[in-house]
Amino acid sequence: MIATLSDRCTLTEKAAILRFIEGHGLRVHVGEAGATTIVSIIGDPEPGIGETIAGLPGVATVSLDAPSYPFVAREARTAPSTVKVRDVLIGGRGVVVMAGPCSVESEEQLLVIARAVAKEGATLLRGGAFKPRTSPYSFQGLGVRGLELLSTAREETGLGVVSEVVAPEDIPLMNGHVDMLQVGSRNMQNFRLLSAVGEQPTPVLLKRGLMSTIEEMLLAAEYIVGAGNPRVVLCERGIRSFETATRGTLDISAVPVLKERSHLPVIVDPSHAAGKRSLVPSLAAAGVAAGADGLLIEVHDRPDEALSDGPQSLTLEGFAATMETVARVASALDRPLTTL
């Protein structure tokens, strides 16, 4: 059962409402985002108590069969929401392209790539400084040095910066350098991290877990928005299936499904799904055709020497060609590519 409080509910009324609910042996969880206050009621309520709660001063509505994710559900807003990252609007009419290397490796590497993707029309630079790696013996990222290099690239190119956060304690470190915090696939259900990014204002890019359902992804987003940060963008990046011809199986249907169920912007990462450079242009075009608000594309100037994800990174030339195709598809659907 979930109760939504009225906008004019006073603090006294609110306290009385909570006291009433707890007095009937139930637990409460209070979530607030902007003016909306959601009281989730946990436990086994006695019959009829929902109607009683609905009649308390300050209660707007009580839903017995509540949506699982009241803050992010499509019904929670009259229009789709947009998220502004630096000066770039995600979720509007334009299609936003984020691009960059999987890992920040050196100043030269980053700047070469950043300049190239900016020139071809990307508006955000994505690069990893803290890398969650399956093996402890794989390259784990440059850490703070990587963040500094991202800042440098931002200054030079004007691109906003997106980078992955792997632990709550790193957020303060990142906040000067990064315009959008990425929560990676392996952390999609790291609930402490979700709460932490929800308790600060930087926009969040939430990547779908490799074997997470769309429902679970929306509940993960609910953790963030419910904790106070409505600036969440969802990213489909391929799920795990039995097929081994590709690294992941891009669940292209997730784009229209997420759009139906939630008001949050949705982007597609064709690179991780494919795991193979040659497939990326087709999947990028498909993502835009399916209705995505943006793309996240891995690019490397010398992919064969990349410290991570080389095989799926586009070359600079490949990125230029992909952007041209993507622009044509976007334009056919009346959605121009967003530019700086």
For 90, the enclosing helix (H) or strand (E) is strand 88-90
By the rule CB under 8 A, 264 interacts with a copy of itself: no
Say if strands 124-126 and 160-164 run parallel, antiparallel, or are unpaired. parallel
**Tokens standing for residue 42:** 């946990």
Closest to 165 (Cα-Cα) out of 152, 177, 151, 149? 177
Q: How far is the CB of 217 from a copy of itself (least distance, A)?
A: 10
Contact region for a copy of itself (CB under 8 A) — 9-17, 85-93, 96-104, 208-216?
A: 208-216
Q: Which of residues 155-174 bind a copy of itself (CB under 8 A)?
A: 166-168
Selected binder of a copy of itself within 50, 132, 143, 228 (CB under 8 A): 132
Q: Yes or no: say if 281 and 318 are a contact pair by the CB < 8 Å rule.
A: yes
Query: Between residues 84 and 186, which has the closer beta carbon with respect to a copy of itself?
Result: 186
Report in angstroms the alpha-carbon separations of 226 from 39, 152, 185, 229, 339.
11, 33, 20, 7, 31
User: Rounded distance, CA 256 to CA 274, Å?
Assistant: 20
Rounded Cα–Cα distance for residues 221 and 189 (Å):
10
Please state the closest distance from residue 323 (CB atom) to a copy of itself, in A.
Answer: 14
Report, in Å, the least distance between residue 251 CB and a copy of itself.
Answer: 6
285 binds a copy of itself (CB under 8 A): yes
User: How far is residue 340's CA from residue 152's CA, in Å, rounded to a whole number?
Assistant: 17
In whole angstroms, give the CA distance from residue 55 to residue 263. 29
Instruction: Give the one residue of 76, 83, 290, 316 binding a copy of itself; rule: CB under 8 A.
Output: 290
Residue 97 interacts with a copy of itself (CB under 8 A)?
A: no
Q: Which of 4, 123, 187, 271 binds a copy of itself (CB under 8 A)?
A: 187
C-beta of 118 vs 196, nearer to a copy of itself: 196
> Which among 182, 286, 185, 191 has a CA at the least distance from the CA of 238?
185
Buried b / exposed e along 260-297 (16+ C-beta atoms within 10 A): ebbbbbbbbbbbbbbbebebbbebbbbbbebbbbbbbb
* C-beta closer to a copy of itself: residue 157 or 190: 190
Pairing of β 266-268 and β 232-236: parallel
Told to check if 36 binds a copy of itself by CB under 8 A, we report no
Q: Does residue 282 belong to the site contacting a copy of itself (CB under 8 A)?
A: yes
Provide the token pair at 95: 């299609």
Cβ proximity of 174 and 167 under 8 Å: no
Q: Which helix (H) or strand (E) holds 46?
A: none
> For a copy of itself, which residue of 135, 155, 172, 176 counts as binding (CB under 8 A)?
135
Q: Which is nearer to a copy of itself, 160 or 198 (CB)?
A: 198
Q: Does 134 bind a copy of itself (CB under 8 A)?
A: yes
Q: Is 312 left (phi over 0), alpha (psi -120 to 50) or beta?
A: alpha
Q: Which stretch binds a copy of itself (CB under 8 A): 53-61, 75-83, 108-116, 132-140?
A: 132-140
Site for a copy of itself, residues 214 to 243, rule: CB under 8 A: 214-216, 219, 222-223, 226-227, 239-243
273 counts as binding a copy of itself under rule CB under 8 A: yes
- Residues 62-91: x where in contact with a copy of itself by CB under 8 A, - otherwise, as a string: ------xx----------------------
- Element (DSSP H or E) covering residue 161: strand 160-164
Interacting residue with a copy of itself among 110, 279, 295, 323 (CB under 8 A):
279
- Total residues binding a copy of itself (CB under 8 A): 80
Q: Does 139 bind a copy of itself (CB under 8 A)?
A: yes
